[in-house]
Structure 1
Amino acid sequence: MKKLPFVLCAILAACLVSCGETTQRSQSSQSTENSDTLVEFQEFTLDNGLKVVFHIDRSDPVVAVALTAHVGSSREKPGRTGFAHLFEHLLFLESENLGKGGLDAMSARIGGSGANGSTSRDRTNYFQTVPKDALEKMIWAEADKIGFFINTVTEPVLAKEKQVVKNEKRQSYDNQPYGHNFYVITKALYPDDHPYSWEVIGSLEDLDAATLDDVKQFYRDWYTPNNVTLVIAGDFDPEQARGWIKKYFDEIPRGPDVEPLPKQSVALGESKLLFHEDNFAQLPQLTMVWPTVPQFHADYYALNVLHDLLAVGKRAPLNEVLIDEEKVAPGVSMYGYNSELSGETILQIRAYDGTNLNDVKGALDQGFARFEADGIDEKDLNRVKTEQEVSFYNGIQSVLGKAFNLAQYEIFTGDPGFINQDIENIQAVTADDVMRVYRAYIKDRPFIATSFVPKGSSELILDGSIRAEVVEEEIVQGAEETFDASIAAEYERTPSSFDRSEEPPYGEKPVVKVPDIREAGLDNGLSVYGIEDSELPLVRFELSFDGGHYLDDPTMPGVAYMLSIMMDKGTAQRDTAELEEAIAALGASIGIGAGDERFQISGQTLARNFEQTLSLVEEILLEPRWDEEEFALAKQRVTAELQAASANPNAIASNKFGEIMFGEGHILATSVRGDMDSLATMTIDDLKAYYERYISPSAANFRIVGAVSQERALEALASLNSRWSGAEIDYPEYSVPNEPDASVVYFYDMPGATQSVFTFGYPALKRTDDDYYPALVMNYRLGGGGFASRLTQELRESKGYTYGIGSGFSGSERYGAFSISSNIRSNVTFEAAALVKDILENYGATFTEEDLDVTKSFLLKSKARAFETLGAKLGVLQNIADYDLPYDYVRRQDEIVEAMTVERIQELADSYITPDAMNYIIVGDAATQAESLTELGFGAPVMLETDE
């Protein structure tokens, strides 16, 4: 991904990429409209081959624009891998007519949200949602990507973006536990001549070898109108948009014809077993992969049902054996990764500490045998299909979700209307289909198995495994290429029939529809907040308690977190499996979680099943089961989570930041999960005591959004009102953390780390402080505005030090913090830290009127999306309920933005950006990086004690 962690590419690909026999619908410049579909659409094709799909949704004054090129890593050549993903990055940069900053700079000005891209094996997409008045600007910008871009790519720009991609790979693969697992699997599963035999991100060696000519040729081959689909979804005039598309895209010439790649499913002659001793892993992990079918193949749907039947839910046979009976692992994951040409079924188990993976494999075999013997219960089949249907509908809640799906269906099936067939195929799966695909692809079939174990624990691997070949990058101080990405490209402009350098004007100003907020109080003290929204037949809700981890005893941290796990494990009336089945039968989901200062029961359901779902919430809340066996399993699970976190550089940095900021004796200096000592002595009576003392309506509020009226919601809550009561809570008093008098550098040693994790910050504003929102406004250009921020522009775009960096204020009613986080290339740890310090020191003094204009433009215009989804509306209620904000706080925030001046920004920066009174926590390779940090001027780094 351009901005999100790259590992999500695999998830997006698995969820969105589609395939199958393509039907030709090349009605040049003609329109088709289909009203008999879940998502109505219009489509047409320009003479140059550009496919365009429109979907009208006038519920919010926003438009999603998704441009997808039918090119992914499968179109690359051996020795030149990673090009498709590299272009995902490059195309957000300068183009001939957008100029420096490219689409990222324009997004900030127009109030765009979610500007990003992703690359899969078979496609690369670019997307964002903008206020409706910016649609012509977006069409102009997207056309520049296809017809007026490549001349701006220079050797320095290419060198810089190579470094960014390398940092992305280190962050997501090389510097993470189990990060090399799918590299090993891919190499073993696919022959060298298969288009899927390398990872989407490519290799560092290939990136280094890429020349400017290579890059330009890749662009000319694949970024052509006849290999691209443009989808526009939202509130717009389709005839007007059609005119804009013809204006900006029509004269871009068609490229070479693109021949479709044939389906290339693979067959293994025998199983392959490989192992790797992982520098970061603390727990042994077994992954098994079977080759299957492309997405949208006839067997694809039954395979998805099979995965859930085997591994989702208490009564799933793999869970029964591995978790409950043999107790070798806290969980099992089974899913499909199905792409255009081929597909895989992936089964993954991260076992408990010291568990031999042969025992895990033996338990798996038992689970498969049980599945074969018991067969498939029709009730379980219907439950899984219902859950998959709800997931399908969730994917088309937002206009961007609809745009994504329409693009994928168009590219990989030739018909956006395949959305209808897709849901019908889910509904049509039978038990016979599921058993057939199990026998065809899984039972007794060859597989790839990888054993990833902690360093020095090869005795835990599967018998017969051979050592995998894993390339471990060596980070050498001063070895990276230097470049100056600010050097302007010199080129002859691409001719056009009109002046494209003039940015189109805004359209009619969007009118944001502010929802009505309802509030009521129940007799038992519970406050109820609601927003009615009937656009979809869905409801989302949260029952939120003030407290969470904050109410834990400092000598027994982790009780609230453990309670959140246990309250999900059945009720007095139902065991865990029966509760899961009751929830799933309604097409609902209910989750329970504990954070630093909140304990929450949240859920989603179909509107017609709201009362039944809320009845289950009431049962969970008032009739906990307190199952000792489940408690023992939960303790094992949390133990594994703590062990895994102890080797994760980002988790370590976050934990150390909390320890240093809050100090010894403060509950928030400890992890919400607790620690090994508290876990060892914790009993179920500790959970009961917390429950009886703190799960009280006096400390709670209920918020609900969706297709349910306030009257109906209150009626459904009547039983809870009469049955549930509780006393006022006496909250503990802790001292407010003091800002450090002077900056200190703290270093946690992870030998051989290829990146250094930065977490810099200090105690700051509470959420309820008057300056809290003004400080957020001030921070936008510093580090809160993504690619519009100075930290990103300097450390990523100018220097190539990192994949991403950001800063922000976070606060509650009790505490607040300012923090900066990033993963930095190891051999520039000092240089990056010094650059951050310099930016902080000079931010206020160098803040300009232009900075203020960009800040105001984004913060005011992006409000068009403030209420688009149920999740966005729920967020509004959260702020009102938790922080006692007025109903119109969004409007009042706009007033703050409109009144902001450069002088006020400078005052805020002087008050709240304090680089000389800050904690600098760094997790990295001390042998090569720690000593140089003395040059920051804060003394020698304080070496933190490493966790054993």
Structure 2
Amino acid sequence: MKHIKSILLVFLVLFTITSCKENNTKETTPEFKVEYEKFTLDNGLQVILHVDKSDPVAAVALTAHVGSAREKTGRTGFAHLFEHLLFLESENLGKGGLDQMSARIGGSGANGSTSQDRTNYFQTVPKDALEKMIWAEADKLGYFINTVTEPVLAKEKQVVKNEKRQRVDNQPYGFNSSVINSNLYPEGHPYSWEVIGSLEDLQNATLDDVKEFYKRWYVPNNVTLTIAGDIDVAQTKEWVKKYFDEIPRGEDIPKMEKQPVTLKSSKRLFYEDNFARAPRLTMTWPTVYEYHPDTYALSVLSQYLTEGKKAPLYKVLVENQQLTSNVGMYQSSSEIAGQLMLGITAFDQTNLNTVASAINEGLRDFEMNGISETDLNRIKAGQETSFYKGLSSVLGKGFQLAQYEIFAGDPGFINQDVQHILAVTPEDVMRVYNTYIKDQNFIATSFVPKGQMNLVLDNSQQAVVEEEQIVEGAEDTFDASLAAEYEKTPSSFDRSVEPEYGKSPDLVIPKVWKHNLDSGIKVFGIENNEVPLVEFELEIKGGLLLEQTDKVGVSNLMANLMSKGTKNKTPEALENAIESLGAQIYSYATDNKVTISGTTLAKHFDATMALVTEILLEPRWDEEEFNLLKQSTISGIQRQKANPNSIAANEFAKQLYGENNILAYNNNGTEASVNAITISDLQNFYTTKLTPKLTNVHVVGSISKNDVIAALETINTTWESKEVVIPELPQAITPETSKVFFYDVPGAKQSVIAFGYPSLKATDKDYYAAAVMNYRLGGGSFASQLTQELREAKGYTYGIRSGYDGDANTGEFSINSSVRTNVTYESAALVKEILENYGPNYSEADLEITKGFTLKSSARAFETLGSKLNMLSNISNYGYADDYAKQRQSIVKDLSVDDIKTLVEKYIKPNQMIYVIVGDAETQLSKLNGLGFGDAVLLN
């Protein structure tokens, strides 16, 4: 993907989970339809329009039917590289392309993703900027290729290689996928290489390759344009035809034939992973392509085998033999083939042969008993809820329509898709098990920590993995400032003129209702009937803040155990009750609170809240579940010790807060503290630290205030109120001079950086103004100086951000990134230089861009249920006014350049900063003296 943030979860929901009508034992749900209009331009461009006037926004998605599967051998990763290139410039958008325009128009940020079979580009914008987006997308599709030069290509290669290092080379189990796919699929099969490609292939990509790829695949007859939101259909059609009509059609694109694979024999492979701290076994079976009739039963099968207390594999691996804390399995179908994957990360020192034997035992249990009609309906109920959740944004609706158009040939396939899901029977589930798993060949990969070969599955061969060597000065140099020289592509009108804004939408603040219960609980709600869902959270202040340093992790364990059964329901019975409603309920703790949250169909809100009431008031305190949770938590802590990002976060907190502040600790605890915790510690925390007087409830969705209050009646009248005081935290002290701390991960392919210092709380008067000030520094993604300098100008990183993170108790300013190992010092020095110059160089142009984005983006502020829930959290936890969003607009409008400079002087402190770096000490540590802050302190 182009940006750091991932939308993988959204895609999984939209691409593999579809709507499921309620089973016959419950009342039926009114039919929910996503209406659309589809038309085709003469050049072959498919256009899908969907009207949704619930918010003053529009989502535009351009999807090209090309991914890694259409690459040539030796040019792997090229489709993904091309995705990056398409954002940089086009003839009429100019340098900076859509990223610069996004900042001006208040868009969600131009983003994209590449899969094996498609590449898409998407953004949600205020509705007054829709014509601008259509103009820009047309410019990218038809007027882009002349702007790509050798320096542009050289720079973006660096960015993509940094992305690969960050996502693959520098991560535990990062090479697992490539080992599986290169062995599951025969050499030359389009799925036998990774979407992100190899570093060598990326380096070898030429400018001629780019032009050839563009000419072949980026043509209107291979692209679908989806526009969803608050749109005028007739006007939108006019704009689409105006800007896209004269882009020439390309050569016909042949349909890719299905290429399912059959394994002649099973393959067992192993790899000693430098970043792993626990052994992982993954088993993969070849299955079927997307929308094959068997995909529906396979999806049910994978969920039933592994998810929840009744799952045969969970029972054996987690509960009975206690080999792991989690079992994951999923059916992954793509355009021409598919695979079923089962993954288990075992506990420390667990032999994977034992894991394999347990898997076989669980599968035998399934063979004997199959799946019941009740369990099948339970799984379908969850799919219905997930489907609606995926449609809660206009972008989600647009993605789903495009998916069906490209891979099923018709956006209306949604109705057939639902019918296929409803048609799955217990016999179908057993049939696909017998067809694709039982006695079938598979790929098994054993990824184990360095020096733990004794844990590998028997008869395994060493996997072929090409690891990059750290070489100083190995990367090509480039001058990113060079402007491309080219002759502009002719057009029937002047495309260099950016369209005007439409009528500016007003900021619509959702109406908030509030109610104080007699027990002390404060309830906040927003009624919203766009989809038949309700999202909720019950927050009890405290969490880590109420713990002692010798028992860190108590609130986390307690919160997790609360949802593992109730007084009158075993853990399995509670889980079944939740899932039968199609609901999701989570309980967890953070640094400052304990939360019970979830999602449910509106018609099941009362029943879901009845279960929440049991969880809160009648926890089971199940000893077996407690022991499983302890073991799982300790295993997670052990794995964190090998994850550079986790190391950086934990070490930064220690330096930021100091040993006397509880916030210096990760709320999971340490191995020693978790081992010391007993179930009576959890019960004591529950009895003495949880109170309605510190509780806020937030509810958003298709539910009335009266219904919410009624559903909380038992909690209000039964939960004992007590006084609990949140202790005053020791003051986190800003260092007098900067200090560098280094944590050694030998052989690290990147250095993870975490720089910062204590700063503003969310309740401080300058908190929001400081966040606005930070936009051009590091909060504005591609509009920020940190991104422009470290990624776009130097190619040091895939992404970097800075920001203020505060709550009612504490706050911090931090800068985070992963940078190429051999430019660790150079990156830190450049960050320091940018911080030092930010205030003195801040200009009217910077302020104009900041105001443009901040004011216009408010149209998107409350589109989803999640964003409305966050609004309620801000109001309840920080005392913000109901219309704080409008108050913030006033703050932004009144800011001057001098105001920004004053804020920079007060809150940006480059020479009073904690610098934490996690990387390869042998090659990088000594160079950091050049920062001028003395010798770096080696932390391990």
Q: Given the two structures, how large is their TM-score scaled by the length of structure 2?
A: 0.98
1:741 paired residue number: 736
From 529, 532, 546, give the equivalent of 1:534: 529
CA distance in 2, matches of 1:475, 1:564: 43
Aligned-residue RMSD, C-alpha: 1.3
- The answer for the alignment partner of 2:70 in structure 1 is 75
Which residue in 1 is equivalent to 2:372?
377
Find out whether 1:860 has 2:855 as its counterpart: yes
Are 2:177 and 1:217 equivalent residues in the alignment?
A: no
The equivalent residue for 1:22 is none
1:685 aligns to what? 680
Per the alignment, residue 428 of structure 1 pairs with 423
Which string of whole-angstrom CA distances, capped at 9 and with x for unpartnered residues, describes residues 308-329 of structure 1?
Answer: 1100111100000000111111
Note the C-alpha offset of 1:114: 4.2
Contact 2:65 2:223 in 1 (8 A): yes
What is the CA distance between 1:707 and its match in structure 2? 1.0
Amino acid at match of 2:860: R
Do residues 577 (structure 1) and 566 (structure 2) align? Answer: no
Q: What one-letter code is carried by the residue in structure 2 that aligns with 1:293?
A: V
Structure 1 residue 875, shift from structure 2 partner: 0.7
Letter in structure 1 aligned against 2:850: T
| 1:594 aligned residue (582, 589, 596) | 589
- The question of whether the paired residues in 2 share the 8 Å contact of 1:66 and 1:127 is answered with yes
Q: Out of 170, 180, 184, which is 1:175 matched to?
A: 170
2:451 is matched by which residue type in structure 1?
G
Q: Say yes or no: does 1:154 pair with 2:149.
A: yes
Indicate if the aligned counterparts of 2:61 and 2:227 stay in contact, CA closer than 8 A. Answer: yes
Hey, what does 1:544 align to over in structure 2?
539
Query: Which residue number corresponds to residue 840 of structure 1?
Result: 835
In structure 1, what is the Cα distance between the partners aligned to 2:552 and 2:584? 28
Kindly provide the amino acid, as one letter, of the partner of residue 237 in structure 1: D
* Match for residue 291 of structure 1 among 272, 275, 286: 286
Q: How does 1:160-239 map to 2 (within 5 A)?
A: 160-239=155-234
Q: Aligned partners of 2:593 and 2:161: how far apart in 1?
A: 38
Q: Name the residue aligned to 1:65.
A: 60
The one of 265, 272, 276 aligned to 1:277:
272
- Aligned AA (1:647): A
Q: Check if 1:870 corresponds to 2:862.
A: no
Helix, strand or coil at the partner of 1:451: strand
- Paired residues of 1:17 and 1:340 also in contact (CA < 8 A): no
Alignment of 1:325-404 (within 5 A): 325-404=320-399
Within 5 Å, which residues of 2 pair with 1:745-894? 745-894=740-889
In structure 2, distance between residues paired with 1:372 and 1:200: 36
Task: Using the TM superposition, give the Cα deviation of residue 735 of structure 1 relative to its aligned residue in structure 2, in angstroms.
Answer: 1.2
In the alignment, the residues of structure 1 paired with residue 31 and residue 725 of structure 2 have an alpha-carbon distance, to the nearest angstrom, of 58
- Asked if the contact 1:60–1:512 (Cα under 8 Å) also holds between the matched residues in 2, the reply is no
Instruction: State the 1:511 CA deviation.
Output: 2.3
Post-superposition shift, 1:734?
2.5
Aligned to 1:23: none
CA distance in 2, matches of 1:592, 1:109: 40
Deviations for 1:622-676, whole angstroms, at most 9, x for unmatched residues? 0000111111111110011001101000000000010011111211111110001
**Tell me, which stretches of 5 or more residues in structure 1 are unaligned?**
20-34
Return the alpha-carbon distance in structure 1 between the equivalents of residues 838 and 104 of structure 2: 20
1:866, distance to aligned residue in structure 2 (A): 1.2
Query: Which contiguous aligned blocks of 4+ residues in structure 1 show a shift greater than 6 angstroms?
Result: none
Would the aligned equivalents of 1:143 and 1:249 in 2 still touch at CA under 8 Å?
Answer: yes
Q: Secondary structure at the match of 1:746?
A: strand
Distance in 1, Cα, partners of 2:236 & 2:11: 29
Aligned counterpart for 2:598 among listed residues 589, 603, 620: 603
Match among 398, 406, 412 for residue 417 of structure 1: 412
User: What is the letter of the counterpart of residue 636 of structure 1?
Assistant: Q
Tell me which residue corresponds to 2:21: none
TM-fit CA distance, 1:421: 1.5
> Normalising by structure 1, what TM-score?
0.97
SS at match of 1:629: helix
Counterpart Cα distance in 2 of 1:41 and 1:275? 49
AA at the equivalent of 2:335: E
Question: 1:25-44 to 2 correspondence within 5 Å?
Answer: 38-44=33-39
> Structure 1 residue 509 and structure 2 residue 504: aligned?
yes
Structure 2 counterpart of 1:78, which letter?
A: T
Give, in angstroms, the shift of residue 115 of structure 1: 2.4
Offset, 1:170: 0.2
Q: Which amino acid aligns with 2:252?
A: D
Task: Count how many residue pairs are aligned between Structure 1 and Structure 2.
Answer: 928
Equivalent residues of 2:552, 2:669 under 8 A apart: yes
Name the CA shift for 1:91/1:190 in 2 (closer, same or farther; >3 Å): same
Whether contact under 8 Å (1:96, 1:149) holds in the other structure is: yes
Task: Give the conservation status (yes or no) of the 8 Å contact 1:13–1:339.
Answer: no
> In 2, Cα distance between the equivalents of 1:347 and 1:473?
28
Please point out which of 245, 252, 257 is paired with 1:257.
252
C-alpha separation in 2, matches of 1:534 and 1:46: 35
Pairing partner for 1:467 from 462, 466, 470: 462
The one-letter amino acid of 1:438's match is Y
- Whole-angstrom CA distance in 1 between matches of 2:109 and 2:284: 33
Distance 2:588 2:445 in 1: 32
Counterpart mapping for 1:435-514 below 5 A: 435-514=430-509
* Distance in 2 separating the partners of 1:18 and 1:927: 45
Aligned to 1:29: none
Measured at CA, do residues 62 and 133 of structure 1 come closer, stay the same or move farther in structure 2, by a change above 3 Å?
Answer: same
Separation in structure 1 between the aligned mates of residue 318 and residue 177 of structure 2, nearest angstrom: 24
**1:37 deviation in Å?**
7.2
CA 1:528/1:15 → structure 2, altered by over 3 Å: closer, same or farther? closer
Does 1:324 find its partner at 2:319?
Answer: yes
Q: Secondary structure at the match of 2:787?
A: helix
Are the equivalent residues in 1 in contact too, given 2:929–2:935 (CA < 8 A)?
yes
**8 Å CA contact 2:734, 2:757 repeated in 1:** yes
CA contact (8 A) 1:18 1:408 kept: no
Per the alignment, residue 23 of structure 2 pairs with: none
Instruction: Name the % identity.
Output: 59
**CA contact under 8 A between 1:286 and 1:451: conserved in structure 2?**
yes
- Which residue in the other structure is 2:24 paired with? none
Q: C-alpha displacement at 1:17, in angstroms?
A: 5.2
Shift of residue 718, structure 1, vs aligned partner: 1.4
Stretch deviating more after TM superposition (60-69 or 861-870): 861-870
Quick check: 1:14–1:336 contact (8 Å CA) kept in 2? no
The farther-off stretch of 350-359 and 720-729 is 720-729
Instruction: Provide closer, same or farther for how the CA distance between residues 268 and 5 of structure 1 changes in structure 2, counting only shifts above 3 A.
Output: farther
Q: In structure 1, how many angstroms separate the alpha carbons of the residues matched to 2:384 and 2:517?
A: 35
Cα displacement (A) at 1:479: 1.3
Q: How does 1:41-60 map to 2 (within 5 A)?
A: 41-60=36-55
Deviation at 1:512, TM superposition (A): 2.8
Question: Hey, what's the Cα distance between the residues in 2 that align with 1:880 and 1:689?
Answer: 31
State whether residues 547 and 599 of structure 1, in contact with CA within 8 Å, keep that contact through their aligned partners in structure 2.
yes
Change (3 A) 1:867 1:557: same
Q: Which amino acid aligns with 2:239?
A: W
State the shift of 1:475 in Å.
1.6
| 1:546-565 → structure 2 map (5 Å cutoff) | 546-565=541-560
Give 1:59 deviation, angstroms. Answer: 0.6
Counterpart amino acid of 1:652? I
Matched residue SS, 2:479:
coil
Deviations 1:284-328 (A, max 9, x none): 000000000011100000000000110011110000000011111
Q: Is the 8 A contact 2:103 2:109 kept in 1?
A: no
Q: What aligned pairs does 1:518-529 form with structure 2 within 5 A after superposition?
A: 518-529=513-524
Correspondent of 2:401 among 400, 406, 409: 406
Instruction: Give the match for residue 26 of structure 2.
Output: none
CA distance in 1, matches of 2:11, 2:259: 17
- Given that 1:73 and 1:199 are in contact with CA atoms closer than 8 Å, whether structure 2 keeps it comes out as yes
Distance 1:12 1:519, change over 3 A: closer
Contact 2:383-2:582 within 8 A present in 1 as well: no
Q: Tell me if the contact between 1:571 and 1:620 (Cα under 8 Å) persists in the aligned partners.
A: yes
